[in-house]
Amino acid sequence: MANMNFIDKLGGASKRNDSLLCIGLDPSMEKIPTFLHAAKDPIFEFNKRIIDATKDLVVAYKPNLAFYEAEGPEGLKSLMRTIEYIPASIPIIADAKRGDIGNTARAYARAVFDVFGFDAVTVNPYMGVDSIKPFLNYEDKGVFVLCRTSNPSASEFQNIGAKPLYQIVAEHAVTWNVHENCGLVVGATWPEEIKKIRTIIGEDMLMLIPGIGAQGGDLEKVVKFGTNSHGENAIIASSRGIIYAGKDRNFDEKVRDVALSLRDKINSLRH
Amino acid sequence: MANMNFIDKLGGASKRNDSLLCIGLDPSMEKIPTFLHAAKDPIFEFNKRIIDATKDLVVAYKPNLAFYEAEGPEGLKSLMRTIEYIPASIPIIADAKRGDIGNTARAYARAVFDVFGFDAVTVNPYMGVDSIKPFLNYEDKGVFVLCRTSNPSASEFQNIGAKPLYQIVAEHAVTWNVHENCGLVVGATWPEEIKKIRTIIGEDMLMLIPGIGAQGGDLEKVVKFGTNSHGENAIIASSRGIIYAGKDRNFDEKVRDVALSLRDKINSLRH
């Protein structure tokens, strides 16, 4: 299972858990329940409870590397424990947004795929195809290229040009999808752009859509415009809205309640 | 000295070492001299020898995080040892090319500045000012925004638009330079773009210019167009061309020879 390709693993988890919901595992020490601070590895302990509470509800987990790097080398050990703990049948996406010259991108790809064992990664297109190819060359892994991001200043550069940059990125990504392992990151906060991008990339390419929950994306439009005509090929990600749903010892019950309700709401909109 | 601000530290090192040369500390296990493989921490041992051999020649060191992440949590320990070993009077730039939504960018900034103790960082502008501000808010630290990168596919997106994207990024960066801690990354492989960018940003902003050496940038034009009218405010970075200059037990002597000759060549062009 560990060596199963990303797309098959994703399809399996989606079917088994009847889900498009991806949970962002983005723990920060100042936000996790304080009773966990006494644990040997509080970050891992926090993730473990969330995984136990939601592993039958999700299509994928998505740890953002920033929150582990912020704890130094020990934080990366917490990340490795987390990856090991997640059932091998659920794909894990490294939210890393990496991008560098080819020689360096190869080192990043080795880090996320070979060393940490992720099934997929997010990458930044600013430096062009050179910086993305070393990831795409791992044919069994998924690569999500930032297209139109969820944050308020997304349009500052992504909308530059007569044809906006984000649309050009989407067009190029279609040509990069030779091994059928390339997808796009599109923020839930921009439903019209989601619609436009789905038109550009067609039915088959995956969209990873963060920005519901804390960032306030419109779920109905996200599901309507983001999925293909079969209600598939979108991964809808929420992090803070789920993982910080509770503060006390039974926080994981609240986490499950919110995740379950969100998964079901997404399903009611796509079926 | 450890708390000295980046700009002052950079100015001090530049004056003391009469240098614009920055060495990229980008070690990979398959390329470092094989006799070092027996060391307890080969990556650190490699860097240590390079630092000992060049610390009177450089304006800064620039470790690229990819090469440390590729060794897992242990690699980040090698990085921390390296940062600790570099004399506190020489600034250290994290070549990280990070970029994420504000909440996440804050975690990345904490990682590079507070946890690892870097003096400066490189960041990716694709997501706009939200993603860069959390770094700029560290007023004592330097922030280099990718503008026109050194790799072959740099123009794929950076030249989009009637006014090319990279020029718009440069213009925005000027407005982000409120604390005088914002600079730009411009590849040595594009001398005409360096010239254009120096015109946009004026005399005072810093340019970090990688891509001489292994990537083949034209040093004469880089110095001529990259520095300001006083032959200053450019940091010229080389990595593979210097750190892999030797293969045997006295590799550090060859490293010093190449670094010395490059520093002097840069100086002969700027004076």
With CA atoms as reference, the chain A residue closest to B124 would be A126
Q: How far is CA A88 from CA A9, A12, B225, in A?
A: 9, 11, 53
* Per-residue pLDDT at A1: 44
Q: How far is CA B236 from CA A32, B16, B61, B78, B231, in A?
A: 43, 17, 11, 25, 12
Buried b (16+ CB within 10 A) or exposed e, B76-115: bbbbbebbeebeeebbbbbbbbbbbbbbbbbbbbbbbbeb
Cβ separation A151–B131 shorter than 8 A: yes
Q: Give B-chain residues touching A70 at CB under 8 angstroms.
A: 107-108, 110-111, 115
Cβ separation B67–A240 shorter than 8 A: no
Query: Which of A79, A101, A190 to mutate to test binding with chain B, by most B CBs within 10 Å of its CB?
Result: A101
Closest CA to B207 of B87, B163, B191, B137: B191
First to last CA, chain B: 29
Q: Give B-chain residues touching A103 at CB under 8 angstroms.
A: 214, 240
Buried b (16+ CB within 10 A) or exposed e, B8-21: ebbebbbeebebbb
Could you state, in order of their start, the residue ranges of all structural domains in chain A? Answer: 6-270
- Please give the full DSSP string across B198-267, using - where no structure is assigned: HHHHTTTS-EEEE-SGGG---HHHHHHHHS-TTS-SEEEEESHHHHTS--STTHHHHHHHHHHHHHHHHH
A40 to chain B, closest Cα gap in Å: 17
Cβ separation B115–A72 shorter than 8 A: yes
* Per-residue pLDDT at B254: 98
Token duo for residue B205: 């902003």
**Torsions phi, psi of B90, nearest 5?**
-110, 125
Token duo for residue A260: 């379950």
Q: Give B-chain residues touching A69 at CB under 8 angstroms.
A: 107-108, 111, 115
Cβ separation A126–B125 shorter than 8 A: yes
SS3 for A199-260, per residue? HHHCCCCCEEEECCHHHCCCHHHHHHHHCCCCCCCEEEEECHHHHCCCCCCCHHHHHHHHHH
Mean of the per-residue pLDDT values for chain B? 96
With CA atoms as reference, the chain A residue closest to B116 would be A72
A222 to chain B, closest Cα gap in Å: 19
CA dihedral A18, A22, A23, A26 (to 10 degrees): 170
- How far apart are alpha carbons A268 and A161 in whole angstroms? 38
Indicate the pLDDT class of residue B1, thresholds 50, 70 and 90. very low
Q: Tell me, yes or no, if B133 is annotated catalytic.
A: no
Q: Give A-chain residues touching B125 at CB under 8 angstroms.
A: 126, 157
* Per-residue pLDDT at B3: 64
Query: Which of A68, A74, A126 to mutate to test binding with chain B, by most B CBs within 10 Å of its CB?
Result: A126
- How far apart are alpha carbons A267 and A261 in whole angstroms? 10
- How far apart are alpha carbons B268 and B271 in whole angstroms? 6
Rg of the Cα atoms in chain A: 17
Helix (H, G, I), strand (E, B) or coil at A167: helix
With CA atoms as reference, the chain A residue closest to B164 would be A161
Residue ranges in chain A modelled with pLDDT below 50: 1
- How far apart are alpha carbons A134 and A95 in whole angstroms? 17
A58 to chain B, closest Cα gap in Å: 22
Burial of B254 (0-12, 13-18, 19+ CB in 10 A): middle
With CA atoms as reference, the chain A residue closest to B95 would be A100
Predicted confidence (pLDDT) per residue in A48-100, tens digit: 999 999 999 999 999 999 999 999 999 999 999 999 999 999 999 999 999 99
Q: Give B-chain residues touching A150 at CB under 8 angstroms.
A: 101
Token duo for residue B144: 């280099």
With CA atoms as reference, the chain B residue closest to A108 would be B66
Predicted confidence (pLDDT) per residue in B155-198, tens digit: 999 999 999 999 999 999 999 999 999 999 999 999 999 999 99
* Per-residue pLDDT at B218: 87
* Per-residue pLDDT at A3: 64
Predicted confidence (pLDDT) per residue in B9-41, tens digit: 999 999 999 999 999 999 999 999 999 999 999
Cβ separation B128–A73 shorter than 8 A: no
Predicted confidence (pLDDT) per residue in B58-71, tens digit: 999 999 999 999 99
ipTM above 0.95, yes or no: yes
Measured CA angle at B60 (ends B55, B63), to 5 deg: 100
Closest CA to B108 of B99, B117, B119: B99
Cβ separation A70–B130 shorter than 8 A: no
CB distance B121 to B144 below 8 Å? yes
Among candidate residues B31, B55, B97, B221, the one labeled active-site is: B97
Closest CA to B85 of B135, B20, B41: B41
Q: Give B-chain residues touching A157 at CB under 8 angstroms.
A: 125-126, 128, 165, 168-169
A119 to chain B, closest Cα gap in Å: 16
Buried b (16+ CB within 10 A) or exposed e, A52-74: ebbbbbbbbbbbbbbbbbbbbbe
Q: Give A-chain residues touching B168 at CB under 8 angstroms.
A: 157, 160
Kindly report the pTM of this predicted structure: 0.97
B26 to chain A, closest Cα gap in Å: 9
Strand segments, DSSP code E, in A81-150 are 93-98, 120-123, 142-148
With CA atoms as reference, the chain A residue closest to B30 would be A107
Predicted confidence (pLDDT) per residue in B95-127, tens digit: 999 999 999 999 999 999 999 999 999 999 999
- How far apart are alpha carbons B143 and B132 in whole angstroms? 8
- How far apart are alpha carbons B144 and B101 in whole angstroms? 18
Residue B123 corresponds to which amino acid? V
The count of other CB atoms within 10 Å of the CB of residue A35 is 13
Enumerate helices (H) and strands (E) in chain A, giving the number of each.
Answer: 12, 8
Asked if the B6-270 domain carries CATH number 3.20.20.70, the reply is: yes
Closest CA to A135 of A186, A170, A86, A173: A173
Strand segments, DSSP code E, in chain A are 21-25, 60-63, 93-98, 120-123, 142-148, 182-186, 207-210, 234-238
Cβ separation B71–A115 shorter than 8 A: yes
B35 to chain A, closest Cα gap in Å: 22
Burial of B55 (0-12, 13-18, 19+ CB in 10 A): middle
Positions of A marked active-site: 97
Cβ separation A154–B128 shorter than 8 A: yes
- How many inter-chain contacts (A to B, CB under 8 Å) are there? 174
CB distance A210 to A185 below 8 Å? yes
